[in-house]
Structure 1
Amino acid sequence: MSSTEAARRPACGRIVVLNGAPRSGKTSLARAMQQSLDGIWIHLGTDVMMAAIPERLRPGIGLRPGGERPDLEPRLPRLYAALYDTLAAHSRQGFDVVTDLGHHDHYSRPLGILPACARRLAGLPAFLIGLRAPLAAILERRRAAGGPYLAPADGEPVPAPIALWQEAVHQPGLYDLELDTARLAPEAAAQAVGRLLAAPPAGPRAFERLAQL
């Protein structure tokens, strides 16, 4: 690359990966970041991938913990790799990019997807943020939103997929920031993300640590 080309090359944009269970507020936070933080934030994630892949591969990277579809699992590492390569490509073009995911390794066998994805972001300004909400808040949001695996009636057991998400999605639990979205509105959470980006803590970031696993 010539010195002129290097001078024209934009600085790498920031990558923010929001990780949490369904209904933990990831999409709302991503939209709040687009609206309130400096930069041009491109929002990619599970919903984008779901819309892009053929129906026979769905739910793709949205596959729930518990080993429900072993037939789809062999494709998941490549789907995640493709998404993370897309995040990296946007960053290298100078765009900030936020993605909302539910990383877990509770498939019919371990796939090691998160550490492999971390290695694809080597050298880029990437941050992993954990979004948590108490089960009661998750159930209330499910009641409001509708869809499969609705919150149970009083006295009925919580469906296994909902309970599994709460635990599986936060393993191994290495984050640059954790947010309780039952206590923080999306706008306040976005400001917390902005403070992290403006003054990252010293030492290895979450993705750098995950890449060593």
Structure 2
Amino acid sequence: MLETGATGPSAIVLNGGSSSGKSSLALALQSELPGSWLRLGIDDFIDALPPRLVGAGGFEVEADGAVTIGPAFTALEQQWQAGVGAMARHGAHLIIEDNFVSGVAAQKRWRKALEGVTTAWIGVRCTPVVAAEREARRGDRIAGMAARQALIVHEGIEYDFTVDTTNADPTTLARSIAHRLAR
């Protein structure tokens, strides 16, 4: 778990389901944390995928919101994670937004990629009902994905601490996280 030095973590991993508030929280953290923090997310990686990997055998979102990933996706994801880890080992401070749809295996891949980097693992929780409401307002997600992921992405994951965005303001949560990490 978190082992901070005098300067705190170099990487913060936010794990939460779709529409849980990870991006809003990450943006608020950039304002609240000392220094300059880059924000990278699973959506950045998915947007960078070759179009042929978005669909069967790569990254696919089913009609009910279930996400399946194939070996080609996982191989590229590990390469991307290794690059992110290298950025942190070269001095970049990173806020990483992810949703561990492959559960414990996803955290293990990130742990390997971030080896040697002081990392804070933060669970970003939100009730399935509120996540689904946010998902509907966004209009860029398949209905059902947020409610499905709200709980399952946390199963078996080890965190330094969790936050709940259901009724909390991102700035207040970011201040709380910054305070906690400074200790």
TM-score (norm 2): 0.81
Instruction: Sort the Cα spacing of 1:185 and 1:67 in 2 relative to 1 into closer, same or farther, 3 A.
Output: closer
**Counterparts of 2:58 and 2:150 in 1: how far apart (Å)?**
17
Q: Which consecutive residues of structure 1, in runs of 5 or more, have no partner in the other structure?
A: 1-10, 151-158, 200-213
> Cα RMSD between the aligned structures?
2.8
Distance in 1 separating the partners of 2:88 and 2:163 = 24
Matches within 5 A, 1:13-92: 14-58=10-54, 69=68, 72-92=69-89
Q: 2:131 aligns with which of 135, 138, 148?
A: 138
Q: How many residues align?
A: 174
- Which one has a larger percent strand, Structure 1 or Structure 2? 2
Q: Report which structure shows greater RCO (CA 8 Å, sep ≥6).
A: 2
SS of corresponding position for 2:122: strand
Q: Which amino acid in structure 2 is aligned with residue 132 of structure 1? A: R
Question: Is 1:105 aligned to 2:105, yes or no?
Answer: no
Is it true that 1:149 corresponds to 2:133 in the alignment? Answer: no
Deviation for aligned residue 1:116: 3.0
Give the AA of the match of 1:95. Answer: A
Distance 1:184 1:35 in 2: 17
CA contact (8 A) 2:16 2:125 kept: yes
Computing the radius of gyration from Cα coordinates, the structure with the larger value is 1
Percent sequence identity is 28
**Alpha carbons 1:29, 1:187 under 8 Å: kept:** yes
* Unmatched segments (≥5 aa) in structure 2: 1-6
Runs of at least 4 residues off by over 6 Å:
59-62
- Distance in 2, Cα, partners of 1:174 & 1:187: 24
- Other-structure match for 1:182: 166
Which digits, 9 at most, give the CA deviation of each residue in 1:9-32, with x for residues without a partner? xx9961011100000000111111
Report the Cα distance in structure 2 between the residues aligned to 1:63 and 1:169, rounded to whole angstroms. Answer: 17
